[in-house]
Structure 1
Amino acid sequence: MAKKEQKRKEIKRKLLHKYRLVILNESTFEEKISFKLSRLNVFVTGSLLIIGLIGFTTLLIAFTPLREYIPGYSSTKLKRQATELTYKTDSLVRVLNYTNRYLDNIRLVLKGDIENNQINRDSLFEQFKLDPSKIDLTPIREDSMLRAEVALEDKYNLFESNKGGGNLVLFSPVSGTITQGFDAEKKHFGVDVVAPKDTPVKAVADGTIIFAEWTTETGYVVVMEHTEGLLSVYKHNGSLNKGQGDIVRTGEVIASIGNTGELTTGPHLHFELWNDGSPVDPSDYIDFK
């Protein structure tokens, strides 16, 4: 115990032992500055200086632009800009993909090719088929009310009530004689209506012009987009009265009867109707007489 006590006193003596730091004039040896120091004072002062320097450096890096000069450290502004650009890029990619699919569908309509646009829905949902014998199909009151409401709406639905043909439901684009009818097997997805040259061609319903240009095979072509996935196509026109992007009302003149394009044999209108990407017989909905 005596040795430990003596050793402790020796350490204390060394820590608290006073030293003098003197700065002299080298020529005259005149004393300029002197400091009284101890090992403990030097250790404490040095530690405080190191801690203060570390704290000052941390604050300098954290709250000043100097941090941007440190390798591997990016600014908050750059990170925010990178994030915003990433979001914008993703949005542009989605819009571009949607636009490309939309243009592909329009291209199929113009070419009259729907083989690649058909989907076998039965095979697509084959794995989800249910056995009716194992399901209680007794309709509940809410289901009966919904069925009645849907039936009332379908009564006035454009295509549901006229799929079997019959009444006039769309405005006739032109009056004339049908020389060739709808024939999906021969890929004639519309009707050819003969009319005098320069006869006005009118819009069958309200919509927007999404294509109005010259094509080699079908001459001047107009494609209109209507509601509920309906497209109307007017081919072999002599001239165009509307351009792409124009909003057109029912019965408004959009073109005139002509004889343009390689696949024409005289002044007439080739008219098509497409519903949700599939061609339908225009004669079932329009009286061309």
Structure 2
Amino acid sequence: MKRKKIIRKLKNKYRFIIYNDSTLLETFSLRLSLFNTYVIVVGGAILLIILGILLMNYTPLKRIMPNSEYQIKSKLVSNAIIIDSLQNTLKANEKHYQRILYILNGQDSLLKNPNDTIKPGNTDLTKSKGEINYVKSSEDSILRLAVEAENQFNVTYGKSLQKESLFNLYLYSPVHNGVVIASYQQSSAHRFGVDIAAQENTHVMATAEGTVISANWTLESGYSIMIQHSNNLISSYSHNAQLLKNIGDYVDRGEAIAVIGNTGERGDGVYLHFELWHNGQSLDPQDFISF
């Protein structure tokens, strides 16, 4: 009996009427039952849920959802960039330590081949002072005085000493994963540096810590920036798309100072023109930096 009563109530018809308050005329009417009302409410709720799921999965609204696929991909890309930067820093530090070991062994501080490694057997620095025989013959003293007197007037010797002192500096490559497309040519008035090609929008890094002494735009070189370092060393970066530092700013080694580009009349493709100057003399950057 109770079940029949419930079914009867669900099937009972009701009329929903809207009247005009001024004229008392019927403007809208709807004939419903409790069962029809239940079906409409449940069906509408299901449609709203389906519509919400579609909006969250196939529109930009999914980006605001916590732990969404978009956020996970963004975190993966960010972590990949951090790992790549750490790997580049680790490689640069390894090369730096290898140069230090070369200096301590009295060899050339610059590795000609970036893949070269130093064998542990060649790094024995444990010999004590007592094991070294400091014997100076008269012939050695005479020869030493003659060489020192000759080198006082030897300009080439003085320049080599200045250049050798720069090997003690750890210079950072201005472009990650860059390729040298034009080498240094001292005989050419327009080739006092190297051209390094890289992908568009790549950041240009300071080769060493120092102070920005020039940051401007010229018709010939486009956006250019120059940094004064220690030991009277100056680095120059030309043909940039954008400068990130101003005159007077202090920058650390490896800090972003510009964005690589293709500006200036001499620009031909996306690349960086990089120069090193020491005491007014141009230097070959490839003698000091492993690109």
Superposition TM-score tier, normalisation by shorter sequence:
0.3 to 0.5
Instruction: Please identify the structure whose Cα radius of gyration is greater.
Output: 1
For normalisation by structure 1, the TM-score amounts to: 0.43
